[in-house]
Amino acid sequence: MTAFWADALLNSIWIVLGVTGVSLLISVPMAWLIERTDLPGARSLGRVLSLPYVVPSYLLAISWITLANPSVGWLKGLGFDIYGLGGIIFVEASALFAIVFLSFRAGLRSLDPALEEAARLGGASPLGVFFRITCPLLKNTIFASLIAVALASLASFAVPAMIGSPARVFVLTTGIFSLLKQGSLAAQSQALVIAVEMGLVALALVLVSRFFMREQASLLSGKSSRPALVRLGKLKPWLAIGAWTVWGLVAALPLVVLLLSSFMPDPGDSSFSGMSLKAWRYVLADLPGFWDAVANSLIVSSVAALLVLLVSIPVALLAWQGRYGKKRRLRALAAFFEDGALLSYSLPGTVIAVLLIFFAARFSFLGLADTLSILVVALVAKYLTLGLRTLGPGALNVHPSLIEAAQLSGAGSVQRLWRIWLPLLKPSIFAALLLVLMPCVAELTMSLLLYGPGTETLGVSVFQLQEYADRASASVVGSLLLFLVLGFQVSAGRLLGEH
Amino acid sequence: MSIEFRELSKSFEANKPVLRKLSFELPHGKFSGLLGPSGCGKTTLLRIVAGLDSPDMGSLRVGDETLVDVGRGIFVSPEKRNIGMVFQSYAVWPHLSVFENVAFPLRVRRLPKGQIEAEVKEALRIVRLEGLEKRLPHALSGGQQQRVSLARALVQKPRLLLLDEPLSNLDVNLRSEMRVEIRQLQQSLGLTAVIVTHDWADARALCDHVVVLNGGRIEQAGSSQELMNSPASEFVRSFAKAGL
């Protein structure tokens, strides 16, 4: 192994450890404060805290570069420098901690409150209960979510590319990217070897995390009671300020900066008097290839989302029949699809893209290289699991008596499916559509490796604008993506909520 | 320790009071029962005694200590009350052995090892669980988990023993057996105990003193015999009758 790869490997390891560590330190206390104490505004904080997770992480990177670039950043006077390992860890953790937060919070909610209350009455202080009862009970949940964070930070490409590469800090994914850009055959086959090794590590991590998830005993109680909230007392205002500051730092600040930056076309001027619509006009009217990128992104992600549905709906039907028809084999078949999709989801985007590049080269008669189709294949491979995960539980909610009633009314199997089962599943189907569209429309890692002349997507266009140091235009396209993604997220949440 | 409630009010949602200005006393060294239909406020009352809920108004004294006085801003947190409680779901910690479950209150108090061992052993003997020290909860029956929960509540020598519908998850035979055992324990240890139940049979078998609650107010208080013989309201009459 060359010194370059030894270095890249070491950097990747540092990032994985740093991001998982920081995520643990932010998420667990925050989830506890929100679920278990009388923290003011806990409910709203819980709702908005995971906001950065749904935002593409390269948008956070752009904002932080805007703020803390040592030469032209808005905070350059304060001596911040975002470029380097520390910056990568900070920006990634600010998005990925939500994985730990959401699953730990779900764990806290599913815990029988009496388990903790009994410890209080046994004489343990609130923190004593937390460390001696709550954490040991939920330790498998915590481990599994930490592994998910480790996987995501190992796979991340955009943040290390934007924040690491300018400081000559390379990781495995950005190393593979630069090898492929060299174009020589030797470099390409080296990239393949490293990508395959990375993929194997990722698969091993998934298997370990599945072990933890299976081990996590169900701790639900039949009786739903309100847990006794810990009184924060004198610390209350300070903890509230602290918790909301964390949110401001990881979510509000970068998103506001992204929007503001799109209205500040002059790179040197960050005063409010310099605000104008110039960058917006430029992107919407004059930026070469912008509307092609919009069209490409929309086409690729809609086709991918529809294909995902085309697979997910039959699999959900299999799972449903397996469950309620007590047909073991159908259930196993559905589980096979679900596991396969989960595994390919866990592969880093870079690995999927490299594998596809070599596949397209080997079977060149398919004419896949540099087409929109190869992007669609990549997106379906990566995000099929999102469709399955939404439709599976949705389908199991359809009680068999509803279908039996239709049968007794004289409906044949096709009619039962078409007139009862599918309409009942409609909210889940639309939600799945949106949940797949969301990451697809903003996808960057795979697109950047797979795009060819004329098949640039929005993610690619943001990345290129950022590379050309056109901060304002990158922020404009980024803001558009932000609104698109948030729109999808809110609509999907509504659909799943009403279901 | 007698328990004294003064003008206790509580509502979880605005304009839907669960407790309405309750004032009454539960006697020292006796077994009291809070009885009533679901939603009458009996569980909330018990949780206020434990410190797991706090009232919106009023005060609570146990013996000569004020545990809660909203007006004076007094609230003693649950871990400082030394109150034992048996939960409806038992709340036996699944990651700890029977021994460690019962030892928990003593470990928190940092007692010496030898003493912990001796006292846990004694508590397990009282609830007749000797020999199961090393078992994990999932290897226990519902009745055995109940006993672990009881031993854990007793091991800290609490000034009060609270029981939140402890028998409702047990089958009929086990239920009457546990009633007898709990009653004998309370009498031999001279405990002040309070049970929340909607089962008239529990009240008759266990309680010296019964308080019937309805809609956050007291319908009647007295011995179960008094309540049956001379019910103060139609509600108490039909409630007692339905339980026979």
* Nearest of A239, A250, A181 to residue A33 by alpha carbon: A239
Mean pLDDT calculated for residue range B193-208: 91
CB A114 within 8 A of CB B78: no
Distance CA B98, CA B8 (A): 37
What pLDDT band is residue A499 in, cutting at 50, 70 and 90?
very low
Please indicate whether, in this complex, the C-beta atoms of B79 and A112 are within 8 angstroms of each other. no
Strands B160-164 and B193-197, how do they pair? Answer: parallel
pLDDT exceeds cutoff 70 at A226: no
- Give the least confident one: A73-77, A305-309, B201-205: A73-77
Distance CA A168, CA A164 (A): 6
CA of A224: which chain B residue's CA is closest?
A: B89
- Give the least confident one: A209-218, A341-350, B178-187: A209-218
CB B106 within 8 A of CB B120: yes
- The larger pLDDT score, comparing residue B77 to residue B14, is at B77
CA distance B231 to chain A (A): 32
What pLDDT shows up at residue A465?
92
Q: CA–CA distance from A15 to each of A8, A149, A233, B2 (Å)?
A: 10, 11, 37, 60
Residues of chain B whose beta carbon is less than 8 angstroms from a beta carbon of chain A are 12, 47, 50-53, 75, 77-85, 87-91, 93-95, 104-105, 108-109, 138, 149, 152-153, 156
Spatial CB neighbours of A22, under 8 Å, sequence gap ≥ 6: A89, A90, A93, A97
CA distance A36 to chain B (A): 12
pTM of the model: 0.85
What pLDDT shows up at residue B160?
94
CA of B169: which chain A residue's CA is closest?
A: A222
CB A385 within 8 A of CB A242: no
Containing H/E element for B86? strand B83-86
User: ipTM score here?
Assistant: 0.81
Residues of chain A whose beta carbon is less than 8 angstroms from a beta carbon of chain B are 112, 114-115, 117-125, 128, 132-133, 136-137, 217, 219, 221-223, 226, 228, 231
What pLDDT band is residue A266 in, cutting at 50, 70 and 90?
confident
- Cα separation of the two ends of chain B: 31
What pLDDT shows up at residue A11?
95
Query: What would the pLDDT profile of B157-174 be if each residue is shown by its tens digit?
Result: 999 999 998 888 888 888
Spatial CB neighbours of B105, under 8 Å, sequence gap ≥ 6: A122, A123, B152, B155, B156
